[in-house]
Structures are given as structure tokens and as C-alpha cells.
Structure 1
Amino acid sequence: MNHETPLSPRPLHHLAEAPRRVLTTAQLREHGVPAAETAVRCRAGGPWQQLLPGVFLLHPGPPTSEERLHAVLLYAARGPLPRAATGVPTQPSAQDPHRPVYAEVMVTGLAALTLHGFATSPGLPALERIDVLVERGRRLRSAGCVRIVRAAGLPAAEAVTGLPVAPVPRALADAVAALSDAGTVRRLLTEAVRGGHCEPSAVVRELTGAGLLVRSHVVDAVGLLLAEGRALSEDRLYRMVREHGLPDPVWNVDLRLPGGPRLGGVDAYWPEQAVALELDTRAPRHGGRPDDETRHSEYARKREHLERLGITVVHVTPRKLRESPDQQATIVRTALMAATDRDPAAHVVALPR
């Protein structure tokens, strides 16, 4: 008995009619096509072709971008996982009865950024190689159009056009790791923030984890990234105050005790209510480096000092300001209204910074 052939093989026309005609050796065997017949069909001039080791395209023409993506995922994927673990449907749908399932693998790098809608990332047909992210311990090699990228732990994949795709910060880090052109790196990082794909802090965290902040052109691009993120967040803050009818504060001031030392800068201050707002656009801590710890300690000391003087400090992050401006406006309004129930704050001087 030929153990490669199932008891009830499906006819080959079933494969030819599939929306995505990319299958592995094991899948072909499940459809009643033994390895020997696959080899015959992939000969020069034959109706099929081998795209990657163990992955076949069931037509003779060039693969589409979609077929290439499915091919690299099939090459790198392990067995199926449930929806809760991958975020990608595990069962075929009525619209796509042949939807494949991929586990412990996701598209990353420039291909992932293109799928996320980055205008500065090359189109899929222009990419000679497609990066896929897998666990570090996998015994898997780059081959053909697929480049294997390894990670100690995989992030949660995002489903984009039905495919598992790395989140933008991770995809950016993997793309930047393979790029040496400073202009390209700068444009990609800028679009990530300007296009609302993610917060600068998330990008810096991934770049730091990948050990990329030792490259001068990446450090320069990160500086521009943080400045861009700061400007966008300030604009959202101005818009929040205006659109939610909050009293006008004094903007971007240094607080000082009369004739005394500087207490620190804040992004907005309501003198009558002694409420200060701080927009936290600091980069995340980078593995406990001393300069990072110093900056965070100084921030905590400043906030504690202001609160001891009776000044309420409202802490707002760029992500909260972008995703829930209504909630942040309510928090500020509540702090302003609560001022009448507090003991009078120490008098401080607000000077432009």
C-alpha cells in the first residue's frame, strides 16, 4: 500500500480551481498527489513549479504577490493554532474555502510595513525577499525569496488581509536592521508616527531591544522621530482643550517659587486652579541604563515636589491622547473642578520656557 496516497483522494481539478494555488508537499499528499507525481509536474515546461523547498505553485506563470506571501508563510509555518493564539481564523470561510492557516510565523520587515499601508515602503512586487519572523530555536534556513528573522519571543500577530503580520514597531525594527540608507530609515520612522501607526516610544523600545541604537544613522532618525511625535502630541493637546471647551491654560511654562528655584517645566498650567498637565513623550527605559534611570528619577521628583506644594499634576501619554481624547479631557476637567475642595496651593510663578 502506498502510504502517501489517502483513501479518498480529491481530483486535481479541485486544486486548479483553488483561489490560491500554493500548497506544500504534505498538502498535496493529502489531496492524493504523491511526491513523484509532483516532481513530474514541476519539470521544465510542466504545469507546476517549485517556489521554495516543499512549497509548490500550481500554475506555470509568475506568482502573484499574494501567492509569494502565502508561499513564504507555508515554508516557515508550523501546525495550526487556535484563533485565540494567532488572531488569524483557523477555519475556512464561505468566501475563501481554501484559506490556509499559519502558526508561529508572521510577515515582518518591509513586506509587513507595505501590508500595514506604508507609502514609503516598496511595493510587494519590488521586494526580492520577504522577511518572516519565527522563534529563535527553529531549525529553519532562509531560502529563495524568504529571509528568516528570529526572535526570542514572538509578538502577537495582527491579521492583515487574512495574513499574520508583525505589529508596526516590530516590523520597523526588522526592516531597519537590514537597511543602511539613512534617508530610507528616516522616512520609515517618520511615517510610522505621522501616519498614526504607532507611538514613538514603542518604536524606540523595539529598536533598543534589537540593539540598533548603536548605529549613528538610526540614532539620528530616532531623534527626528521623537521630535515629530512630540509636535503631533502637542497639536492633539491644543485641539483637546479647544474642542472640549476647557479653560485656556498657559502653555509650555517653567514653574518657580517666587525668588526661589526652578520647579520644572509643564506643558499646560491653570494658575487659578493650580493644575499642571504633563505630556509624557519620554522614550522608554532602555534596559536600565544609568542615563535613563536618571531621567525617570528626575521626572518622579519633580512631580512629587509639585504635589507637595498643592499643585495637581495630570499625566497624559501620547497614546491616551490619540486614542481617548474625550476621557483625557474629562480627567483634566475633574481636576479643575476639584480645586475648590483643596487647600490653597503655594504661589508659584509661571515663566515661558
Structure 2
Amino acid sequence: MSAARRAMSGDDRIVLMRHPIKRLAPARRDVVQARWLRHFDLVERLADIGSWRLDLATAEMEWTRQARIVFGVDPAAAMPTWDRFLNFYPFNDRMVLMQAIDRAIATGQPYEVETDIITVDGRRRRFRNVGEVDRPDGEARCLVGVCQDVTAQYEIERALERSALVDDLTGIANRAALNRFLNERFENRSTEDGLAVVLLDLDNFKRVNDTYGHQAGDQVLQRTADILARHADRIGFVARPGGDEFVLAITDRDALGRLRALLATLLTALTFPVAGAAGAIVVRATIGACVLDQGITSRSDILRRADLSLYNAKSLGKGRAMVSGDLRPILPSAD
């Protein structure tokens, strides 16, 4: 005999083996029902879930105690209505949930969706919503739903996803994030979309590393990332694919219209000295850019053209910029 069965009283074993609850004497039935309600409440609390039932004819809802708790509702308060239940969900999430519920009612198939909710006290939580239509006599009578708070798991997954797309040293996007960004731009491209890809290499970076060590080199990379991030704010996307190479993807129409002036400003901002016992080493940027046109059809194409412009700029000397299709070199601004 198992330990669990040995732990039961003889009466309990008889109840489980021979008697449905409805066949018990009223007093005994109340005891068994109360025991199982406590058990069910404990299970919901341990799993951080709550369940509810919606009468499809009257729109009346019944909530378990734990369901009210996970939504931030006072367990002693009146049952929230169906409208109040839906209002816990931000608009877009509410639409996702309602579409899933409508499909479940129409098809008889269960639904499962993840959404955000806003609790009574204003906290945003992530919920897994699972539900199914109950058809006791073949006709849809009620909808039974379960909500589980998966916020902690969701935040861990998001943090892992972010870490996979962020450069550890500088805190800006890495090569994978850049590729994703550019691929999405090309996949969702329209005639009104504008884009320029700007490649930057740091001149004298190797000399800084060789003279003052990798810690000084890391500081140069971090300073460069900070400068680019400030300039990229509201106009585009900045990434460090690796080494001393940086990419600025410009999507703002106004910024694209003044691209040459913007590149001149960047050349000035990215010129700074690194001082030490061996004297100051001036770090500069050399830049190659390419503006999206009808002849460019892919991420690799625009990057290749920007890289060719970078090569042309380097052939003219350090601290210059070139734009694909334009033979005029750009020098640092006088500011």
C-alpha cells in the first residue's frame, strides 16, 4: 500500500473508491466538499493561477478566490463583472484575448494566449490565459478560463533575449540586433521609408591599445558608443558589430535630408584625445555611408555599398566621410 493511501483514514478511502460526493449524506458531503475546495484553493495559490467561469447566456461570472487575488481584487469584494474583467487588459491585449475566446466559442477548441494585464493597484503583469467552452449537453453553456501569472518567467526570457542582442562592453546593440533591424526594414519596406547606413571605423584605436593597454581601448569604445547613442536618439539605430567598427542606421526623414551636415558633426564629435604618460593620441573616425535607393534590395547590398564608401574615405586620409554615389569628401564641421 502506498504512503499516501496509508495516510488516509478508512472513511476517506471508502469515499474515494466507492462513493461519488453527491451520494454521501449531507453532513459528510459538506466535509468532503470543503476539504476539496481548500485543496483546490491551495493548488491555485501554489501555481499562482486563478480560474473563472462565464455563463454565456447571462454574462454572469464566478471567480475563485485566487483569481481575484492575481488580478488584485479584494477576495471579500463582489465578483467583478465580465466588462470589468476585460478592462483589466490593455486595449491590444484585450483584442487578442477576445479574438481567441470568439474562436473557442465558434469552434469548440480551447484557446491559449499570453497577454499583459493591469491589476487594480496599477501593476503590469504578464498572464497566460487558457480557456475552453463547457458543453454539458452539446450546447455551449459557459466558458471556463484559467489565468496564470508568468511575469517572472517572461521577464527572465526578455532579459535573456536582450542580452543576446546587446554588446556587453558598450551596452548598445550588437551585430545580431543590427541584422535583425535591417532585415525588418527591408521586409516591411514601403516607398515612403527612408534609410541610410553609416559605417564608422576608429582611426588610431590600435595605437591606443598598444600604447595604453586594452582598458584604455575599452574606454575609447565606450565613449564612442555614448557619443553615437546621443546622436542616434530619435533619428535611428546604433550598433557595434565588433572591434572598433560601429554602425548608425538613420531612419528619420529630417536627418536624412541633412545627412552630409550630420556626418560632419559626427566627425567632430568623434575626434578626441586619449592622454597618458606617452603623450596624447588623437582618436578620429572615418565614415562611409549609403542612402537607400531603388537599386538596393537587401541588407547585404546596402552594407556593401557603405563599406565601399568607407574604403574610399580611408584612401583620402583619416577623419573624413564619403557617401555612396557622391565624390565629395566630408570634413569635420567647424563647430
Normalised by the shorter chain, which TM-score bucket? under 0.3
Bigger share in helix: 2
TM-score calculated relative to the size of structure 2: 0.28
Give the number of the structure whose alpha-carbon radius of gyration is greater.
2
TM-score calculated relative to the size of structure 1: 0.27
